[in-house]
Amino acid sequence: MNTGRITPLGVTLTKNKVQITVWAPKAKSVICRTYQPNKDIVLSPQAYGYWYGESKEIAAGQRYHFVVNGEALPDPVSRSQPEGVHGPSAVVDLHFDWTDQDYQCQPLADFIIYELHVGTFSPTHDFEGVIERLPYLKDLGITAIEIMPVAQFPGERNWGYDGTFLFAAQHSYGGARGLQRLVDACHRDGIAVILDVVYNHFGPEGNHLEKYGPYLTEKYHTPWGKAVNYDDSWSHGVRDFVCENVLMWFRDFHVDALRLDAVHAIKDFSPSHILQDIRRTTDGLMRETGQRHYVMAECDLNDKRFLEPLEQNGFAIDAQWLDEFHHALRVAAGEEKKGYYKEFNGVEHLAKAYEQAYVFTGQYSTHRHKFFGSSANGIPGEKFIVFSQNHDQVGNRMLGERSSMLFTPDLQRLMALAIMVSPFIPLLFMGEEWASQKPFYYFVSHSDPKLITAVRRGRREEFSDFHGEGEMPDPQDVKTFHNSVLDWTETALAEHQRMLRYYQGMIALRKSNVVLRSFKRENLHVGHDLQKDSLVLRFECTKEMLICILNFSSSTQRFAIPEGQSWEKVWDTADSKWGGLSSAIMTDGFAHLAARTGIIIQTRI
């Protein structure tokens, strides 16, 4: 991985001087031009396409451009864009007085993840707004927050996946210092921070990367156009760029984990895949600092190589989002079988997801028109992250409906139980825990009219498989953004308080129950009944047995309880304290569950 880079990339403040490094392999000349005071610092060419210079006259906060072959451009590894993606870069001192010296990130098996979008999570739309809600999240039982991408994007409204400057924390959110304060505050409360990053494409507006060098390649094409250049000519500079970005988030921001967006869209046939280089980069930093860091990924390939260790030529990803569990769960709950839901068979596939993680393990996929998937046998449960909703599954609906807008409260509680009793890592999407009635739309704030038109057209095409009626909210309209902001006053209303207490209790049970904490997939046995539209999950520990019954049907069902044991009901989704109407009845060796309810019973073996 040593490709000749001699210092950290960009403009770096050190004790006695400022070091300046930029990769521009085809440039004839490169100058670092600073403003107020105005000064040109001529950089010298180095090996492998790098340019380098030093100065003692640059200060934190100072604006600057790189002038490449006479054209003034923002720094590709800018740490700050105070005037937006089209303005100059600004020098940032990343030194921070951390208070988390005694903090150590917990094991993955202890993660209860809460996904949030900084701009819509609070009324202030920034990192400080998240800090103010940390006591709430801790009381809820959350042990890790997952932050949607914060790399500088155009304007002030965006999901974050259009980030143009991967090294610059969004200025309107509070910039680098604001993010550091947030991570430090999370660590004081024992909450880990997962940051969503995007290495499969670069945002279009304000993107000058190709003026510096071949960051993209025509060898492959992705949904966003040309692929990021990980294995073509000059790819070493792009790989340095990404690995340096990984190091920065872990080292300078103390982020605990990175969630890599859509790694299935990364094209790389190098002997060492870029994901393997990211793994080695992370491992090297952990050896150096003694801190634990995780690399997670969104991947829809059902290929366990992504999770296998480097020694087996795997990519050594620590955990993967498990979309197929979500799809099977939603169909079991009554989601209409449209689009990619078409080939999921409800409780049958949900049972397989519990036992095998992947639903498609080599059989024919009618959605993909090919045989698809591999077995995940031998992969521990903490390698998979499951959810009943997330930003994609809510925001990629045309009307941005949450589960609370699609399903009755009894079904919401049942789906939440299905997540919490899984042998996987549970993830909640912000507001889910109180059944928020606010939609979560897709929104942008581009300035390029052609790009705005393309986004509108692309979203309409994306919705064609799922929605035949209704009008798509305009992603560019500021109202679309404001309508997506959480309404925290909802939590004062009785029906929302009941759901919040339900989630608090369920998370507490997940944390305290010795069987649910075991995470040993081999100790889980799942039975499903298509006629009853239900599942029975049996967990066995050394001294205890736990059974969870999930009734997705629209009528009361009777389930036999194993004899020879004394059973105690420890959870009931239909309990009146949650707003349930018909608690489960256990009598004469049977459990009677009302429609769309679930229970947990437990005994000692």
pLDDT digits (tens, 9 = 90+) for 182-228: 999 999 999 999 999 999 999 999 999 999 999 999 999 888 889 99
**Number of C-alpha atoms within 13 angstroms, CB side, residue 471?**
3
Which pLDDT belongs to residue 563?
87
How many Cβ atoms sit within 10 Å of the Cβ of residue 495?
14
Percent of the chain scored above 90 by pLDDT?
Answer: 89
Distances (CA, A) of 341 to 325, 336, 337: 11, 7, 5
CB 256 within 8 A of CB 186: no
pLDDT of residue 543: 79
Q: Given pLDDT bands bounded at 50, 70 and 90, which one contains residue 520?
A: confident
Same domain, 561 and 416: no
- Which pLDDT band holds residue 112 (cuts at 50, 70, 90)? very high
Question: Based on the domain organization, do 445 and 587 belong to the same domain?
Answer: no
Same domain, 279 and 423: yes
- Final residue in a domain of this structure, among 509, 541, 568: 509
Higher-scoring residue by pLDDT: 251, 396:
251
Q: For tokens 């967990």, name the residue.
A: 539
Rounded Cα distance, 401 and 384, in Å: 25
462 is a domain residue = yes
Domain membership of residue 52 (yes or no) is: no
Residue 11 neighbours by CB under 8 Å, 6+ apart: 18, 19, 20, 32, 58, 64, 75, 79, 89, 91
Angle at CA of residue 55, ends 51 and 57, nearest 5°? 145
- Span 517-525, average pLDDT: 84
Domain boundary among 479, 509, 539: 509
**Together in a domain, 275 and 166:** yes
Q: Is residue 174 in a domain?
A: yes
User: What are the angstrom distances between the C-alpha of 261 and each of 164, 224, 311, 392, 465?
Assistant: 15, 13, 24, 11, 23
Same domain, 316 and 416: yes
Copy the structure tokens of residue 181: 């304060």
- In this structure, what token pair is assigned to residue 463? 């919705």
Closest C-alpha among 269, 149, 248 to residue 199:
149
| 597: in domain | yes
Residue 471 belongs to domain spanning = 112-509
DSSP structure string for 494-539? HHHHHHHHHHHHHHHHHHH-TTTT---GGGEEEEEETTTTEEEEEE
Q: Does one domain contain both 345 and 218?
A: yes
pLDDT of residue 142: 98
138: helix, strand or coil: helix
Query: What are the catalytic residues?
Result: 261, 298
Q: What is the pLDDT of residue 575?
A: 96
CA atoms within 13 A on the CB side of 50: 21
- Rounded distance between C-alpha atoms, residue 225 and residue 63, angstroms: 32
Using H for helix, E for strand and C for coil, what is the string for 116-130? ECHHHHCCCCCHHHH
**Cα gap 360→461, rounded to integer Å:** 26
3-class DSSP assignment, residue 248: helix
Q: How confident is the model at residue 258 (pLDDT cuts 50, 70, 90)?
A: very high
Q: Which CATH number goes with the domain that contains 565?
A: 2.60.40.1180
Average pLDDT, the chain: 95
Same domain, 206 and 289: yes
Could you write out the DSSP letters of every residue in 454-479?
Answer: HHHHHHHHHGGGT-SSS-PPPTTSHH
Residue 540 is predicted with a pLDDT of 86
Asked if the structure places residue 3 within a domain, the reply is: no
Ordered alpha helix ranges (H), 15-126: 118-121
> How many angstroms separate the CA atoms of 423 and 418, rounded?
10
Amino acid identity for residue 16 in this structure: N
Query: In this structure, what token pair is assigned to residue 226?
Result: 């040309």
Q: What is the pLDDT of residues 125-143, one digit of tens each?
A: 999 999 999 999 999 999 9
Statement to judge: residues 430 and 546 lie in one domain: no
CB 196 within 8 A of CB 116: no
Instruction: State the binding site for substrate.
Output: 259-264, 323-327, 391-396
In 3D space, the residue among 553, 548, 546, 554 whose CA is nearest the CA of residue 573 turns out to be 548
Encode pLDDT of 42-58 as tens digits. Answer: 999 999 999 999 999 89
- Which parts are annotated binding residues? 259-264, 323-327, 391-396
- For residues 130 and 187, membership in a common domain is answered with yes
CATH number of the domain bearing residue 176? 3.20.20.80
Confidence of residue 468 (pLDDT cuts 50, 70, 90): low
pLDDT at 467: 58
Note the pLDDT of residue 321: 97
Cβ–Cβ contacts within 10 Å for residue 99, how many? 11
Provide the token pair at 133. 């809600």
Identify each DSSP E strand in 269-417 by its residue range: 294-298, 319-321, 364-365, 370-371, 384-386
Give the pLDDT score at 469.
Answer: 65
d(CA 445, CA 480): 11
| Average pLDDT score over residue span 389-416 | 96
Contact 173, 181 (CB under 8 A): no
Does a structural domain hold residue 54?
Answer: no
Q: What is the pLDDT of residue 471?
A: 87
Are residues 209 and 176 part of one domain?
yes
Sign of CA dihedral 260, 263, 266, 272: positive
Asked whether residue 497 falls in the same domain as residue 538, the answer is no
Structural domain contains residue 314: yes
Predicted confidence at residue 339, as pLDDT, reads 86
Among 464, 483, 509, identify where a domain stops: 509
Per the structure, how many domains does the chain have? 2
- Please give the torsion angle defined by the CA atoms of residues 582, 587, 589 and 590, in that order, rounded to the nearest 10 degrees: -20
Q: What is the pLDDT of residue 523?
A: 87
Q: What share of the chain in percent tops pLDDT 70? A: 98
Please state the rounded mean pLDDT for residues 511-529.
Answer: 89
Residue 518 has pLDDT above 80, yes or no: no
Class of residue 475 by CB neighbours under 10 A (exposed 0-12, middle 13-18, buried 19+)? buried
Domain assignment present for 77: no
Q: How far is CA 231 from CA 220, 237, 306, 383, 475, in A?
A: 10, 11, 18, 28, 35
Residues 268 and 302 in one domain: yes
